[in-house]
Amino acid sequence: MIDIIGTLMTTRLQDFCRSHEPWLLDLIDALVAIESPTDDKAAVDRCGATLAGRLEQMGGRVTRVASQTSGDHLVARFGAGARQVLLLGHFDTVWPIGQLARMPIRREGDRLHGPGVLDMKAGIALGMLATRAVLELTPPEDASIVMLWTTDEETGSHTSRALIETEAAASTAVLVLEPALAGGALKTSRKGCGQYELVVHGVSAHAGVDPRKGVNAIREVAHQVLAVDAIRDLERGISVNVGLVSGGSRPNVVPDYAAATVDVRAATMADADEVDRSMRALRAVTPGAKLEVSGGFNRPPMERSGGVARLFGLARDVAAELGFVLGEGGTGGGSDGNFTSALGIPTLDGLGALGDGAHALHEHIELGALVSRAALIAGLVARLSRAAA
């Protein structure tokens, strides 16, 4: 059924976004121009100060949630209604200070390059323009729009996770403004991610004089690398990667220490539990060697639940009103959307900018897709802020 009023509103939201595109570009530029590597609190807070200022200019009530070990997180509230729609993202990046000089903000045809522009400063700016459009044209009476912009997503969200879960639990839906999949598709599922550390203690000995007295920890880790590899099941979406191995001191010493770090991913909660059980069931095979396994899943899988499917249906309707077909897909990468969806809160991810090269030197966004993306987010927020949504 064609919703005439909905279509009209979506068109007006898009017109607003189009006429305010210069504001959007200026905001993206301002955010990318202030480098914000996760591990540099002072730098991230500088970016946060600019972002907070812009949020206040929009009429947001901004709270800085102080963190000792990362930049301060920002919460901005618009409207006072009880029902809450959460826009979620992060303004830390993987790029060190000085990267901007090596890959400056530059426009090349339809592309805007710069460190952190795709992942995910443009996404934040899109969410802000969309919110401006909604507040201006169809201000929600009984709902509020809340933005949570965090500072440690790239290192696992250790200081922001509780805040993310608190705000998500108070929300009817969570829209995550991480980069889109190729072609603009949304992310309706994400694998859960974990990391394990295997440490082997052996017995050192002179490799030439007393080889029988030694227990070679590297030999034992080699066994474990193959055992871990056997947990992999790509058909089921279980990926396991031994990404780091260390151990030993010199060739003529039987090593008494070796370690391996393992990255694991699983598509469902059940598979994540099974992987965890398999990792914890690992046992040393070399007599005299001691194996310690630590770690676990940091981000639970984001599964395509009924709530996620309904939310995507809403987004697809808005896209249709804007005249394009919206796709969906999954990804092996995790985001803060994993936390919110694991709480059972309908979550849509990948609503941010189109582009390519997150965490890579060719990182860029597609300028031609910005207005319709902002309109998509605006149309979605407008519907979610209505009681019937």
Binding residues for Zn ion, per CB under 5 A?
119-120, 178
Work out how close the CB of 178 gets to Zn ion at its nearest, in angstroms, rounded to a whole number. Answer: 5
Residue 385 Cβ vs Zn ion, minimum distance, rounded to whole Å = 25
Q: Least Å distance between CB 44 and Zn ion?
A: 14
368 Cβ partners below 8 Å, 6+ apart? 110
For Zn ion, give the closer residue by CB, 45 or 119: 119
Residue number closest to Zn ion, CB atom:
119
Q: How far apart are CA 252 and CA 44, in angstroms?
A: 47
**Nearer Cβ to Zn ion, position 94 or 318?**
94
Closer to Zn ion at the Cβ: 119 or 167?
A: 119
Distance from C-alpha of 312 to C-alpha of 270, rounded to nearest angstrom: 24
Q: Where on the phi/psi map is residue 355: left (φ > 0), alpha (ψ -120 to 50), or beta?
A: left
Rounded to the nearest whole angstrom, what is the least distance from the CB of residue 258 to Zn ion in the complex? 33
Gyration radius of the chain over CA positions: 24
C-beta closer to Zn ion: residue 72 or 336: 336
Those residues whose C-beta lies under 8 Å from the C-beta of residue 86, and which sit 6 or more positions away, are 146, 147, 148, 167, 168, 170, 171, 173, 174, 175, 340
Angle formed at CA 353 by CA 239 and CA 382, multiple of 5 degrees = 110
- Residue 178 vs 303, nearer CB to Zn ion: 178
CA–CA dist 314, 310 (Å, integer): 6
How open is the CA angle 33-36-40, to the nearest 5 degrees? 140
Strands 83-90 and 173-176: parallel
Rounded to a whole number of angstroms, the minimum distance from the CB of residue 153 to Zn ion is 6
**3 state SS for 99-129:** HHHHCCCEEECCEEECCCHHHHHHHHHHHHH
Cα–Cα distance list, 333 to 202, 230, 315, 346 (Å): 35, 21, 22, 19
CB-nearer residue toward Zn ion: 92 or 271: 92
Residue 116 CB, shortest distance to Zn ion, in Å, is: 9
Minimum distance, C-beta of residue 365 to Zn ion, in the bound complex (Å): 13
Residue 121 or 383 with smaller CB distance to Zn ion = 121
Q: Which is nearer to Zn ion, 157 or 224 (CB)?
A: 157
**Cβ-based nearer residue to Zn ion, 355 or 379:** 355
Nearest approach, Cβ of residue 16 and Zn ion (Å)? 26
How far is 291 from 221, CA to CA, in rounded Å? 9
Instruction: Tell the smallest beta-carbon distance from residue 94 to Zn ion (Å).
Output: 9
Residue with tokens 């676990």: 296
